[in-house]
Structure 1
Amino acid sequence: MTATPTSGPLTPGKQLGFRRMSDDAGLFKMTAVDQRPPIKGPIAEAHGGEAPWDKVAEVKTALMEALQPTSTAMLLDPHYAIPHGWRGFDVRKGLIVTLEDSLFRETGQGRFSSEIDDWSVGKIKRMGGDAVKVLAWYRPDISEEVRRAQEDFVKRTGDLCARHDIPFLFELLVHPIESDTEQTSEYTEMATKHADHVLASVEAFAGADYGVDVFKLESPVPAKGITAGDGDIQALFDEMGRLAGRPWVMLSAGAGKADFRSVLEYAYGAGASGYLAGRAIWLDAFGRWPDMDAMRAGLVEDSVPYMQELNALTDARATPWHAHEVYGGDGLAFLDPTADFRHTYGDM
């Protein structure tokens, strides 16, 4: 099978992945603990510049175990969270697995992304993953060389997800180039980002050639200090949802708790189906590390109640993924509900 437009009935594998990632109402309440630099950085600083594998893995496992009861799915990485935390993973939750390497090649005119070495869509499917997640750095004014490479990377992933019949969850982040006054290599939101860059990036990958099933999107405006009720901001979120043209969820990009909640208010007003967030949920508790007991207490006392608040907002305002117009309002329809299914369902 090759990448096809995200329209009409989903293939069985993709639909099953959607159903496992969402709740009974078709809403996504998903937690990311696949981050590598934001967790490795403080640990490396405390250990003379190198982050011991067991220390990073211990933190990730604690995050997973504390937050998965309040989540519909967990986003995990194959470096630390999966091998160390596998015994504690709740198999009733959806399993999203990272494909992209956290290291990227910076050119000043764009960032080259790539797969984790010796890791693949096929391996994610074979181990029982419910979705493949890829983050790609992108903006419309990067160099032609980088733009083509990033687009090829995403298309290659979409083709492989279609071949293995597993959902492709695609995350987009804009980033600084050398002409910008703001410079950062961190996985954080640009305070000086332009809404046009975010919207044009979504539009660039909304075509059928890329095979994206779910978009994981950043706010089109800086989240810091954002408040609800601004009509101009809502119009930008509305346009982002229109350009996505399929189910989409919000990422937190390190936003503060109040800011991310306001972002979700706008996103749900524009038709988003939930969230896939990490640092907004667990960063405050991680700040208590290296005292693991204090960190775990922070997750229980602070992170879980915050997730419950987000989940209540999601229940009240988010759009079920299967009600999206791209599926004609019925994403739960079976691809071929006839006796011919075994003949019409494509082989790998």
Structure 2
Amino acid sequence: MTTLSAGKLWGLRRLADAKGRFKMLAVDQRPPIKNPIMTIRGTAEAPYEDVAGFKLMLVEELQAETSAVLMDPHFALPRGLSVASPAKGMVVTLEDSIFRETATGRLSDEIDDWSVEKIKRAGGDAVKVLAWYRPDADPANCRAQEDFAKRIGEACQAYDIPYLFELLVYPLPGEAEQTKDYVEMAAKQADNVLESVRRFADPAFGIDIFKLESPVPAKGIGEGTDAATQKLFDEMGRIAGRPWVMLSAGAGMAEFEAVLKHAYAAGASGYLAGRAIWSEPFKAFPDWDGIRSGLRQTSLPYVKRINALTDQSATPWFETPLYGGKAGIAHADASFRHSYAGMGGA
């Protein structure tokens, strides 16, 4: 049995359903929500009430079918905390959606005036961080992103909270598909995805859950996908070496469902997804009644469908090879209070 600290064990249990599978809804997106609103409103910035109102509606309408909800501190958390079910886990975003585009690649930063400590104090059950990463980028860029991830991992260990780490490959300067939107690269190479996971699987980063993209473009996955695609998913799961979930990266409903089938066959423990679930109803903006109706008639049945797939095929997080069927804490006896480090301790 691999032991965990008390806070990390409790946090992982909070994020999963009673059987250890992750069914997590993402409402932390910023550009994918703000940009369409700006276009429709014809404004230089998306009105706060529009963005926060949509996120609040997502929590209200969809949380019943989730095991946890991912919220950002700008819009979702301030409004969502008053309506979020205390029976559901809460993941909170730390990375800024505005990344630095340099001549050697993208660099990530934390949201200003936000920290692992504040997430813990606010009641978060896990810290989520997205890092753009290309293993074939300039070595200095790779080191900067690795240092960013490691620094947060150390803080999560100090404050005893699970670290949920998301990886996305992206086009380097001079390559095709240049965009600042959060979209999947249609021409991404599986080797870049797998090597990225390999680098961050090092225990030095302190990652508890990986949130991973498909190693091949989602649009190319279907019922007739050959065994080579499954082999790539299998390898990704092997490399991850800990519980992992799939992100949707803007894939359509059918595409994401196909991705999940491959991921679950490779040992994934669930999903953390947003746009695949709510993007269709969001097209009705600014018709709020239309959005709510779409969430109930389209998104909710979809969530129930992928939840059924998750129940049937996903691997409970504690049954992944790292834990081997049982996860517990060290010193699970009268010595616990003496051995357990306080917040901020080593």
- The TM-score normalised by the length of structure 1 is 0.96
Question: Which of 19, 22, 41 is the matching residue for 1:25?
Answer: 19
- Asked if the contact 1:14/1:167 (under 8 Å) is kept, the reply is yes
Does residue 49 (structure 1) correspond to residue 76 (structure 2)? The answer is: no
Matches for 1:6-25 after TM superposition, within 5 Å: 8-25=2-19
Give the residue type in structure 2 aligned to 1:159: E
Shift of 1:340: 1.1
The alignment covers a number of residue pairs equal to 341
Does residue 149 (structure 1) correspond to residue 144 (structure 2)? The answer is: yes
Match in the other structure for 2:89: 94
Give the residue type in structure 1 aligned to 2:108: S
Match in the other structure for 1:261: 257
Question: Which of 161, 168, 178 is the matching residue for 2:156?
Answer: 161
Question: Aligned partners of 1:33 and 1:96: how far apart in 2?
Answer: 10
1:13-47 CA-to-partner distances (Å, cap 9, x unmatched) read 00111111111110000000000000000111223
SS of residue in 2 equivalent to 1:88: coil
SS of residue in 2 equivalent to 1:95: strand
Does residue 235 (structure 1) correspond to residue 231 (structure 2)? The answer is: yes
CA RMSD of aligned residues (A): 1.1
Question: Which of 187, 193, 198 is the matching residue for 2:188?
Answer: 193
Match in the other structure for 1:217: 212
Question: Aligned partners of 1:262 and 1:268: how far apart in 2?
Answer: 10
Question: Aligned partners of 1:275 and 1:288: how far apart in 2?
Answer: 25
Question: Aligned partners of 1:58 and 1:305: how far apart in 2?
Answer: 22
Q: Percent identity among equivalent residues?
A: 58
Question: Which of 325, 329, 332 is the matching residue for 2:325?
Answer: 329
Match in the other structure for 1:314: 310
The worse-fitting range, judged by mean Cα deviation, of 278-287 and 182-191 is 182-191
Matches for 1:51-66 after TM superposition, within 5 Å: 51-66=46-61
Does residue 289 (structure 1) correspond to residue 285 (structure 2)? The answer is: yes
Matches for 1:178-189 after TM superposition, within 5 Å: 178-189=173-184
Match in the other structure for 1:3: none
1:263-282 CA-to-partner distances (Å, cap 9, x unmatched) read 00000000000000000000
Question: Which of 172, 178, 199 is the matching residue for 2:167?
Answer: 172
For structure 1, the residue ranges without an aligned partner over 5 or more in a row are 1-6
Shift of 1:327: 1.7
- Asked if the contact 1:77/1:98 (under 8 Å) is kept, the reply is yes
Give the residue type in structure 2 aligned to 1:22: A
SS of residue in 1 equivalent to 2:216: coil
Shift of 1:336: 1.6
1:65-114 CA-to-partner distances (Å, cap 9, x unmatched) read 11101110000000001112221111110000000000001014210100
SS of residue in 1 equivalent to 2:171: coil
